[in-house]
Amino acid sequence: MPTYPLPFPAKAAAREKLQLNNRQAAMESPHTLAIQVVNTASQWNLDFTWPRMSLARAQVLQGWLDSLQGQVGTFRYYPRAATRSVLTGRSLTSAAYSYSTNVRLSGWASNATSELSVGQFFQLGNQLLRITAVPALADANGQVLVEFQPMLRANYAAGAAINLATPSGVFRLVSAETPSFDLDIDGLPTFPSVVAKEAI
């Protein structure tokens, strides 16, 4: 029995689409047309494809896909679009709680450049997060308030480390049918798009 989550294969994806799926219910008044939205949860959806490859390489990737056993297994994915940061030693200044969409981080010198940017991924615990707002400079205490999506799903104690250098998330296939390669007109294996969702 494999130990999940599996590491992602060495063969990098040729194309990646990572988007946030917000689970919401919207109710519109028939009289005023005002809309009330209830936001219940958010989850990353992942769609990627591999480039054409040798048969030997395709067989290795097919074995990896088969080992996921459809929706049973999980794998760790590192977004290709992630900005790789050299920042280390950053941690939560205070406790962060489930359903929060901002955290205060420490580890900078007073009024130093934050070196963070909107759209950048980071990881807290096992959760992959993307920055939606961040100041250019740390405050006088060397702290930075970071806003992000999706909302946290767990509580974290003050001092918990964040990962800016190699952020990742844990995913599972969306279907019980395992994607399989076929041979193109040149006899080279071609995989279809692999569609997965964040494992909650």
Which tokens hold the place of 129?
């997060």
Model pTM above 0.75: yes
Query: In this model, does residue 83 exceed pLDDT 80?
Result: no
What is the pLDDT at residue 31? Answer: 83
Rounded CA-CA distance 84/166 in Å is 7
Cβ-Cβ contacts under 8 Å for 30 (sequence gap 6 or more): none
First CA to last CA across the chain, in angstroms? 21
Q: In which element (H, E) is residue 55 found?
A: helix 55-67
Residues 50-76: tens digit of each pLDDT = 998 999 999 999 999 999 999 999 999
What pLDDT does residue 82 have?
67
At 121, the amino acid letter reads: F
Q: How is 110-129 classified by DSSP, letter by letter?
A: TT-B----TT-EEEETTEEE
Residue 68's identity, in one-letter code, is L
- Residue ranges and CATH numbers for the domains of the chain are 15-78+170-198 (no CATH), 91-163 (2.40.30)
Which single residue is written with the structure tokens 């494809």?
49
Please list the residues that pair with 92 across neighbouring strands.
105
CA distances from 84 to 46, 52, 101, 130, 166 (A): 19, 27, 22, 13, 7
Q: Which tokens is 189 given?
A: 């294996």
Q: 3-state SS of the chain: helix, strand, coil percent to 5?
A: 5, 40, 55
| pLDDT interval class at 187 (50, 70, 90) | confident
What token pair was written down for 136? 């250019």
